[in-house]
Amino acid sequence: MPPSPRDCARRVLEVVPSVMRAVRAEMRRHRASDLSVSQFRALVFLSRHEGASLSDVADHIGLTLPSMSNMIDGLVERRLVTRKDLPADRRRNTLSLTRAGREIEEAARAAAQSALAHRLNALSASDRAKVAQAMEILRPVFVEPRNVERKRI
């Protein structure tokens, strides 16, 4: 008997916040990088979208522009990100990771992944496969669903 969308949603609602709490705790625990989850996500996005604008990042992470401007201020001060004007359109920013930013991003991701992996190690290989598959099912639904809307335009 397949679960209804509502039943599936109930389970997601019960479990995902706890998973997220573990992720957040791990980010905090790893003092070396000491990034918030949002900061970490911004770095990940920039590592994949070299030269993205502020709006691009804000849009992807789901923060308002002022919040993102603030966050990037912090990352620039920490010398993890550079912010330059885009000559072609001087309203826009071009954001890039510095070498240190790239290193921190990789270190933070490795640390968080290790901690999560340690927990997931309690699962059988087949259960891990199921979890991994579920993530790929959820990815298009929740990660950058804006792309879908944009294509519609």
Partner DNA sequence: TATTGTTATACTCTATAACTATA
Partner DNA sequence: TATAGTTATAGAGTATAACAATA
CB of 95 to DNA, least distance (A): 8
CB of 103 to DNA, least distance (A): 19
Phi, then psi, of 123 in degrees rounded to 5: -90, 155
Burial letters 11-46, b for 16+ CB under 10 A, else e: eeeeeeeeeeeeeeebbeebeebebeeebbbbbbbb
- Our CA dihedral for 38, 41, 47, 51, rounded to 10 degrees, sits at -50
With CA atoms as reference, report the closest residue to 67 among 23, 36, 98: 36
Nearer to its own copies, 15 or 100 (CB): 15
Q: Which option in its own copies, DNA, none does residue 16 bind, with CB closer than 5 to 8 A by kind?
A: its own copies
Kindly tell me which residue out of 28, 29, 62, 147 binds its own copies, with binding defined by CB under 8 A. Answer: 62
CB of 4 to DNA, least distance (A): 29
- Residue 33 as a binder of DNA (CB under 7 A): the answer is no
Kindly tell me which residue out of 3, 51, 74, 145 binds DNA, with binding defined by CB under 7 A. Answer: 74
Pinpoint the alpha helices (H) of 30-124.
37-48, 54-61, 65-77, 99-120
CB of 106 to its own copies, least distance (A): 12
Binding site for its own copies (CB under 8 A): 2-23, 25, 37, 41, 62, 109, 112-123, 125-139, 141-145
